[in-house]
Amino acid sequence: MFAWTLRMAWRDSRHSRRRLFLYLSSIIMGVAALVSVRSFGNSLLEAVDEQAKVLLGADLSIRSRTPFDDDDESLLLEIGGNQSRQTSFSSMAYFPDQNGTRLVQVRALEGGFPYYGNLETVPPEAARSFREGPFALVDNTLMLQFQAQVGDPVKLGSYTFRIAGRLSRIPGESVAFSEFAPRIYIPFSFLDETGLIQVGSRVRYTAFIQFEPGYDTENLVEEIEPRLKELELSSDTVQERREGFQRELSNLNNFLSLVGFVALILGGIGVASSIHLYVRQRVETIAILRCIGASPLQSLGIYLVQASIMGLTGSLAGTALGLLVQRLIPAVLAGLIPLEVENSISWDAVAEGLLVGLGAALLFAAIPLLPVRRISPLLALRREYESTGKRSWDYLVLAAYMALGAALLVFSLLHAPTWMVGIGFFGALLLVFGSLFAVAKLAMTLIRRHFPSSWRYEWRQGLANLYRPHNQTIVLMLAVGLGTFFIVTLYLTQQSLLREVELVGSEGRPNLVFFDVQTDQRQGIVDLLQAKGLPIIQDVPIVTMRIKSIGGRAVEELKEDPEYGGARWALSREYRCTYRGQLDATETVIAGNFEGSFVEGSVPVSVEEGIAERLNLAIGDQLEFDVQGVPVEALVGSIRTVAWRSFQPNFFIVFPTGILEEAPQFAVLVTRTDSASDSAMIQRDVITGYPNVSAIDLSMVVQTVESILDRLTFVIRFMALFSIVTGLVVLTGAIVSGRYQRMKESVLLRTLGASRTQIRRIFFIEYFFLGALAASTGILLSLVGSWALTRFVFESQFVLEPIVTLGVLLGVVALTIGIGFANSRGILDQPPLAVLRAEE
C-alpha cells in the first residue's frame, strides 16, 4: 500500500512541484548555514589535531614571570631534551629611517625554536639567519605601517638592529591579534645590549623543550607538577594546547551554528505556513479520496511523503550550498585562525545537515499536515459541511508541537557552551518569535475591532486583507520582523561597542600614555611634555609587591589549604599598586570607606571587587604585603568597582598616600596630543631620550579595536545573512502562496468595475502595513535586545542610532512592497476566465 501512497504523492505533486520546492527551499539556507559552519569547524578541529605540535612549536613549554634562577635551571636540566629560551616583554620600537615609533612585543630567542612548524618570513631563510647577528624579524603589520624594508634599521632600547625579514606567520598565533602588539624577534645574545629590562618591566621567561619522538610528555609533567608549583612555574604541553584550542574552536563553531539555526527555524515556520495553505487547497481532493476508500492514514501519507521528499531535496540542496559556502569561511574568518586549514568535506556535518534539515521540514510540516487525518469525506458531498458538536483536541498535533519544542531545546543545549546559555538562547528565540506572533495577532484583532469604516475603499480593503481568511499576516510578520530584528540588533550592538571605544579618542580625553617611567626619568619626561605644551593629565606612581599573608596566615599555607575559598593564582601573582589621596572617576566604593591618607597602624587599602572575591577578602581583613623585601601591614578599608575599559591605568589595590612614597617605583604619565603627528613626534622625543619607556597611542588602540570588532561582526553578519535570505524566501513563498486568491479577488473586483490602479493601491496598502508593522516590531525588539546585550553581556553604554534605524524601517517597508509587487506581477493581466478555470 506504501507504493500507492508514493504513486499518489508523485501524481498529486505534478502541478505544484515548483511551488512545493519554493516552500521547502526556505530550509535550504538554514541547512547551508549549519553544514558550512560544521563542516568547516570539523576541518578546523582536524587541522588542530594534525598540527597540534605546531600550535606550541615544541613538546613542552615552561614559563616564569621572573628570570630562571638556579633551582629553575636545575629542574630544566633534569627535564633535558632540546631546549630554547625566549624572553618577551613590551617595548617601543623606533624606526630611524621612517622616524616612527610603536609599542611592540619583543621576543629575544635563543636555540632552535620553533621545533615544529616554521616562523614564516620573507625572505624564508631569515627565520634562521636572524639568530646569527644583530638582526631582527619584524611583524608584517609593523613593516606595512612604517613602510619599512628588509635591511632597514630598527632600534629597540639603546641598540639598533637590522631587519632580516618580515614575519608573516608565527605558528599557533592568529594574525589579527598581532595588530594589538606586533612582534619583533631578536637574538637572545643581544638582549642585554638593548638595556630594556629594568625595574617594573613585565617580562615573561619561557623555555621551549623538544623531546625524542614517542616521549611521554604528559607523564613527565605529572611527575614534575609539584616542583613546578613550588617554583611558581607554569607549563604548557601540546595536549593542553590542543584541548584549549579545540574548546575555543568548538565554542566559536557552536555559536555560529546557533546563529545559523535561527535561519532554519525561520525556514521551518515558512514551511509550516506554506504547507498549511497547500493542504487547504487540497481539502476537496482529500475528501474525494476518503470517499472512494482511502483511509485517514493513507491520505495523510500522501502529503507526508511529499513533505519528506521536498524536505530531503531542500536539505540536499542546502547541504550542497553549505559545502560551497564552506569554501568562503576561511576568507570570512581571515586572520582570526592561527592554523592552515585544509577545507575538506566533513561527512558528519553532511549527515547532521541532512538529518536536521529533514527533521525540521517534517516537524514543521507535521503541524499543518496532521489535521489531514480528520478531513471528513462528507466534504466531497457538500463544501459547507458542519461538524456535529465541537472538535476535540488533536493530541497528535499537540504532540507534534511538543516534539518541535523539545527538538529546538535539545539543539540549543547541544550547541551552547553551557546549559544556561542554551536555555537563554531557547528562551530568547521563544521571546522573539512569540512577540512577533503576538503583535501580529493583536494587530489583526485591533484592526478588525476598530476598523476605520470612514476611510477610502482601497484603504479599507487593504487593511481588511490583513485579517481576511487565508491571510498570511503572521508568517510575513515573522519573516520580515525577524530579519529586521537581526540587522538592527547587530548594528546597534556593534555601534554601542564602537562608540565606547571612540569616546576615548574624543576631544579633551587623554590619548597618549607613557609607562615604565623610572623615578629618575619622571621629571625629565614631565619637563619634555610641558615644554611642548602638553598637559600632564595623570601622573600615576606604581609600586610592585606581592601578598605575604592574609589574616595572619601565610600565602604558602593558604595555597595548601583545601578549605581556602580564594583562587591560588591570585595569591601568588605580583601586584602593581598605586597610592593616591582620592578615588578616580572610574571607581566607585561599594563597601567600607576610601581613606586617602595613612597616619599610623595598619594601612587601609582599597581592593577591587573582583580580586577581593578571588582573594576571599572582606572589609577589615588583615593583609601583609612584601614590597620588594619590606613588609607592610595593611587592612581592607574599602572595596570598589572599576570601569576597566576606561583606557587609563586602573589598579586592583590602591594604597593611601603616606606609606609607599619611598618604595622603589616607576610611573605612568598620561597626556593628550591633538594630532597623530604631534603624538608621533613626542613619542619619538621621549623614546630617544628614554629608550626603556613605552608609549601607547590610544587612537591607535581605537583603530585596532575597531578593525577587530569589524572582523568579528562581519563573521556574525555573514551568518545572520542566512536568516535574512531565508526571511526573503519565506516572504516570497508566502506571497506566492496567496497569489491565486489574490488573482481571484482582483478578477472579481475588476468584474465589479475596479480599475487596475485601485487594485494596485489595495496591494500597496496591504504590503505597506505588513512591512511597517513587521519592521517596527522587529526594530522595537532589537532595541530591547541590543540594549540588553550591551548592558548585561558587554556591560557597556547602549547607543541608539535613530537615523540608521529609521533608514532600516523605510528600507524594509520598501523591500516588502517591492517583493509583494514583484510576485503579484501578471495578476492584473489575467483574463477572468483563466482564473475561473484554473485549478490552483
Partner 1 sequence: MILHTEQLGKTFSSGDRELSVLSAISFDVKQGSSVSIVGPSGSGKTTLLGLCAGLDRPTQGRIVLNGQDLGTLSEEGLARLRNQHVGFVFQSFQLIPTLTAIENVMVPGELHGATDIGTRAADFLQKVGLGDRFDHYPTQLSGGEQQRVALARAFINRPLILFADEPTGNLDAETSEKVEELLFDLNRENGTTLVLVTHNLDLAAKTERIISLKAGRIVADSPTHSVLGSPA
Choices 66-74, 264-272, 376-384, 577-585; region in contact with partner 1 by CB under 8 A: 376-384
Q: How far is CA 275 from the centre of its chain?
A: 35
When the beta carbons of 289 and 617 are compared against partner 1, the nearer one is 289
Residues between 732 and 771 with contacts to partner 1, criterion CB under 8 A: none
**Should residue 4 be labelled a site residue for partner 1 when binding is judged by CB under 8 A?**
yes
**Should residue 7 be labelled a site residue for partner 1 when binding is judged by CB under 8 A?**
yes
When the beta carbons of 4 and 401 are compared against partner 1, the nearer one is 4
Q: How far is the CB of 274 from partner 1 (least distance, A)?
A: 17
**Should residue 8 be labelled a site residue for partner 1 when binding is judged by CB under 8 A?**
yes
Compute how many other C-beta atoms are within 10 angstroms of the C-beta atom of residue 285.
Answer: 16
Choices 116-124, 378-386, 400-408, 568-576; region in contact with partner 1 by CB under 8 A: 378-386
Choices 11-19, 209-217, 478-486, 559-567; region in contact with partner 1 by CB under 8 A: 11-19
Q: How far is the CB of 364 from partner 1 (least distance, A)?
A: 23
- What is the DSSP secondary-structure string of 577-625? EEE-SS--TTEEEEEE----B--SSSEEEEEEHHHHHHTT--TT-EEEE
Choices 370-378, 527-535, 644-652, 722-730; region in contact with partner 1 by CB under 8 A: 370-378
Choices 2-10, 107-115, 433-441, 582-590; region in contact with partner 1 by CB under 8 A: 2-10
Those residues with Cβ within 8 angstroms of residue 107's Cβ, 6 or more apart along the chain or in another chain: 86, 87, 88, 183, 184, 185, 186
Outline where DSSP puts E strands in 694-814.
694-697
Q: What are phi and psi of 236, to 5 degrees?
A: -145, 130
Choices 24-32, 153-161, 384-392, 626-634; region in contact with partner 1 by CB under 8 A: 384-392
Site string for partner 1, 13-32 (x = CB under 8 A): xxxx----------------
Q: How far is the CB of 312 from partner 1 (least distance, A)?
A: 21
Choices 162-170, 385-393, 463-471, 477-485; region in contact with partner 1 by CB under 8 A: 385-393
Residues between 245 and 304 with contacts to partner 1, criterion CB under 8 A: 284-285, 288-298
SS3 at position 513: strand
First-to-final CA distance of the chain: 28
When the beta carbons of 212 and 386 are compared against partner 1, the nearer one is 386
C-alpha cell, 523: 621629571
**Should residue 394 be labelled a site residue for partner 1 when binding is judged by CB under 8 A?**
no
Which of 199, 355, 378, 402 is close enough to bind partner 1 by CB under 8 A? 378
Q: How far is the CB of 279 from partner 1 (least distance, A)?
A: 14
When the beta carbons of 297 and 398 are compared against partner 1, the nearer one is 297
Which amino acid, one-letter code, is at 206? T
- Of 53, 40, 23, the C-alpha closest to 115 is 53
Q: How far is CA 678 from the centre of its chain?
A: 36
Size of the site for partner 1 (CB under 8 A): 37
**Should residue 307 be labelled a site residue for partner 1 when binding is judged by CB under 8 A?**
no
When the beta carbons of 388 and 454 are compared against partner 1, the nearer one is 388
Choices 112-120, 123-131, 383-391, 708-716; region in contact with partner 1 by CB under 8 A: 383-391
Q: How far is the CB of 9 from partner 1 (least distance, A)?
A: 11
Q: How far is the CB of 328 from partner 1 (least distance, A)?
A: 41
Contact between 267 and 258 (Cβ < 8 Å): no
C-alpha–C-alpha distance, residues 667 and 826, integer Å = 76
C-alpha cell, 65: 614571570
When the beta carbons of 287 and 702 are compared against partner 1, the nearer one is 287
Q: How far is the CB of 385 from partner 1 (least distance, A)?
A: 8
Angstrom distances, CA of residue 213 to CA of 47, 58, 280, 587:
20, 12, 69, 53
- Bridge partners (DSSP) of residue 300 are none
Q: How far is the CB of 839 from partner 1 (least distance, A)?
A: 4
Contact between 56 and 217 (Cβ < 8 Å): no
When the beta carbons of 284 and 674 are compared against partner 1, the nearer one is 284
SS3 at position 753: coil
Residues between 810 and 839 with contacts to partner 1, criterion CB under 8 A: 837-839
Q: How far is the CB of 732 from partner 1 (least distance, A)?
A: 23
Residues between 565 and 584 with contacts to partner 1, criterion CB under 8 A: none
Q: To 10 degrees, what angle do helices 238-281 and 395-415 make?
A: 160
When the beta carbons of 351 and 378 are compared against partner 1, the nearer one is 378
H/E segment holding residue 148: none
When the beta carbons of 382 and 450 are compared against partner 1, the nearer one is 382
Q: Cα angle at 819 between 22 and 755, to 5 degrees?
A: 115
C-alpha–C-alpha distance, residues 430 and 440, integer Å = 15
CB burial of 702-721 (b: ≥16 within 10 Å; e: otherwise) equals bebbeebeebebebbbbbbb
Count of residues making up the chain: 840
Binding footprint of partner 1 on the chain (CB under 8 A): 1, 4, 7-8, 11-16, 284-285, 288-298, 376-378, 380-382, 386, 388-390, 837-840
